[in-house]
Structure 1
Amino acid sequence: MNSTQPDDPLADAAYRDVPAEAGGRAGRTWWDANAGEYLAEHGDFLGTADFCWCPEGLREADAGLLGDLTGARVLEIGAGAAQCSRWLAARGVDVVATDVAHGMLAAGAGYDRPGHPPTPLLQADARALPFADASFDVVFTAFGAIPFVPDAVRVHREAARVLRPGGRWVFSVTHPLRWAFPDDPGEHGLTASRSYFDRRPYVETGTSGAVLYAEYHRTLGDHVAELAAAGFVLERLVEPEWPEGHERTWGGWGPVRGRLLPGTAIFVTHR
């Protein structure tokens, strides 16, 4: 991800085990430090009030993965700048967005339109949500929270706790198959170079030795097992295909790999 930490420049990037506390803490500091750079690079694609599930460009307006939201109370975790929640709010949905990084939420607050009610934003760790039990009908995240913590089962359990019986939990992540391949959108990224079963996180370390960034790999089986442990039933696993005419690259995502390999997995579940 090429961390930007002026006080602790990037010294090394590799797949390796790190203490869970250090890896889990890095997500908050990295997104605080890099919010502006990230949004400058991807903001035109994500928009300020659009609901995009993945780099393939699948929109909720077309996919309808959250179901009928009439009268529903909705929670977004790992919301970043809350573009998805802002899109829902503009359609009359009762929604609140949370993220662990103040930098991302602050950037998102600037996206609210003058003269319109602000999108409800709250800084919170997805592993310890400040909401009462059974207080939402739908919880979702688009590439938020889950990849950046070593204990994703806690995220699932918190989603289950705040959902009402029958409530829906939908989340998108990097497709686990991608972890066996280099993070390269070109031809080089088509040759597997690591074991799919190597669960060591991708870690960036500063010159101080501190963990600046950590992203965690889980197999499809791991995701399903963690969902089951939290009491969820898997309804659908959506693997968006790369659309014709979509030429944008985003990290390891792009048309070369996208036409041959899945890049995103979206889990649609209910409690």
Structure 2
Amino acid sequence: MLRIGALPPLQVSPATLVTVLLVAVLMFPSLQGPGLSAGRSALVALGLGLFLILSVLVHELAHALVARAFGARVDHIALTLWGGHTQYRAERMPAIGSVLVSLAGPASNGLLAAATGALGAIAAQGTVLSVAASFATWLNVVLALFNLLPGLPMDGGRALESLLGAVLRRPVLGTRITAWIGRAIAVGVVVLPLSRIVRLGGAGGFSLLTLLWALLIAGLLWQGASRALEETRVQERVAALDAAALARPVRLLAPHTPL
């Protein structure tokens, strides 16, 4: 665990290096072109991979700080192969608090996109700085929009889950609806690159790598949505328990009665 001042403890998995390299590999072909040599393109691609991890950290810090503002205890922030998550506990948080905590992450990526977009606008066109700023803006826009998708386990799904739970007065139903939306999104994550490959009549190495990455992300999303559905089943079983039906009469015995 890393500790930086008053910020929540930070847990960084070595697998984040894999994320950096994978992002660099995916970005490298798009960076090759006039004005950038292969070496510079590789360096910019690696820099963008590192910037993505930094963007994820800012995203999770936004979650943590807003959660603290609503009285939650933030245990730690974790950066992993799949991005990151913020572990926090709140005994009672109003629906609006849960919504704001969920939306804080994508909002922070929107601000980063605005900052890098402004930097790219003032940089000389065609320079390394302008190219890097353009791609950094694109990464944060994608990160924000993807997390805003209204299905679990994405932030948009968490926000919708809280709203539905408050409006319907049935939190379990809100979770179930957003979990099924999350499953549909997981399927869509695979269908989109697969349909592109079919439309182009084949798949090159880059398309196959994109499809593989999409399959891994879809698996993670499906797993998260399925876990939420399982939690609703457990909650319903617990709610259906009747303490009176489970109770048994107590027999009082004398201290020396053999059992």
Greater RCO (Cα-Cα under 8 Å, separation 6 or more): 1
> TM-score of the superposition, structure 1-length normalised?
0.27
Q: Which has the higher helix share?
A: 2
- From the CA coordinates, give the structure whose radius of gyration is larger: 2
